[in-house]
Structure 1
């Protein structure tokens, strides 16, 4: 297993789908359409069969769960180099941006700043910042509360949840996701404080490195993480069949 494959496997453990089925080293995943990562097959490693057969099983699984077939692959990796010849194409229309940078960096371990804390359970304010509602849908709850070791960082100002972040530890990595700060509270250092709080939490739960997944089009987030010492390790993309039968 390459280091990029190990990171992607750890991230999949930290961001579990509502339904998951192994296909050799691949993972077939579905979560009622909530996020690409939870509704695509993670195609890394050996699927235990030919790529063409594995991709047919990806399609069958997706159809059975009412989602479009899609695979998540390491950019320029051995699987991606075969996909075009097997009738698949890069999903360039993916709404959140199809090219994702996987950043690796230090844990910003330290004492939790006074206005931030990491909780064992998400609060209504955390949900509101994370999914735009104080009560999540079933798939949102399953994905965002799934994983063996998960923490929910909040920043609170004047009794309001002004910022939120999710952290999950798997295979020694802390996967940080869903970092958000309310527009009226930005540029006050809350994002850095949340990263420090979740980094300290991750250290206490056995993490030694931190990983983030950011669309290459999200220049603001990339600039923030660059300042915090994160560097690109690899990228991944989503691919879909050029032709597919209706669901």
Structure 2
């Protein structure tokens, strides 16, 4: 169970892989209690088609169709060596945070995005302004990619591809061989880019919430 003051879906949801050690309805009541305690919406992070999903639906929960990031996301993986091009430099710039997390950056933002292994805050700048940014974190031999963003004024210039190539190069230097990332199913341009980089869909997940709050 994870809580981070509402910043990102993953950081404010309960992972439902494995045996909860009790009947699923009881486990979901525990999720609701945890959510009340931390002031967040009770949410279960559920792999599509899993046994957990069927049990959670039977317990009266529903897919969160109003989730800000979309109701369904793909998890994609791919080999870094296929698209590595250069090596990203990790710079904790104010512009990086503004582009990826918004203008009001709190300790929660820094905890969520700054934790999780060996972290790289990669960016591209123009005239001192961050125009593209991405976060990478290496855990064992896997590079976890998140928060890829390009300013609207600089899109369709290949910046996302360039940044991903540099991040992959950084990941290889840190001992990673594979990347993993999440992308909303409606974000077809991003999915197309990741496919061109050699990534394929591993599985999908959805967020589930109580049918009656």
TM tier relative to shorter chain: over 0.9
Does the 8 Å contact 2:85/2:162 carry over to 1?
no
Partner of 2:186: 217
* 1:111 match: 86
> Partners of 1:169 and 1:47 in 2: how far apart?
28
Q: Which residue of 2 aligns with 1:29?
A: 2
Distance in structure 2 (CA, Å) of the matches to 1:93 and 1:187: 28
List per-residue Cα deviations over 1:32-53 (Å, max 9, x = no partner).
Answer: 0111100010111112222122
Q: Which of 140, 159, 173 is the equivalent residue of 1:190?
A: 159
Aligned counterpart, 2:174 = 205
For the residue of structure 2 that corresponds to 1:48, the secondary structure is coil
- Equivalent residue number for residue 141 of structure 1: 110
Deviation at 1:187, TM superposition (A): 2.3
CA-CA distance at 1:111 after TM superposition = 2.3
Give 1:81 shift. 1.2
Residues 210-239 of structure 1 show CA distances to partners (whole Å, capped at 9, x for unaligned) of 111000011111111121111111000000
Q: Which ranges in structure 1 are unaligned for 5 or more consecutive residues?
A: 1-27
Aligned pairs (5 A) from 1:62-141: 62-107=35-80, 108-112=83-87, 117-119=88-90, 121-133=91-103, 136-141=105-110
Structure 1 CA distance, aligned partners of 2:134 and 2:117? 17
Cα distance per residue 1:127-173 (max 9 Å; x no partner): 1111222x512211110111221101111222221110000112421
Counterpart Cα distance in 1 of 2:135 and 2:125: 15
Which residue matches 1:159?
Answer: 128
Q: Does 1 or 2 have the higher relative contact order (CA < 8 Å, sep 6+)?
A: 2
- Distance in 2, Cα, partners of 1:217 & 1:187: 18
Matches of 1:130 and 1:122, distance apart in 2: 12
Give ranges in structure 2 of 5+ residues lacking alignment.
Answer: none
Q: Distance in 1 between matches of 2:167 and 2:89?
A: 7
Question: Is it true that 1:241 corresponds to 2:203 in the alignment?
Answer: no
Following TM superposition, the consecutive aligned residue runs of length 4 or more in structure 1 with deviations greater than 6 angstroms are: none
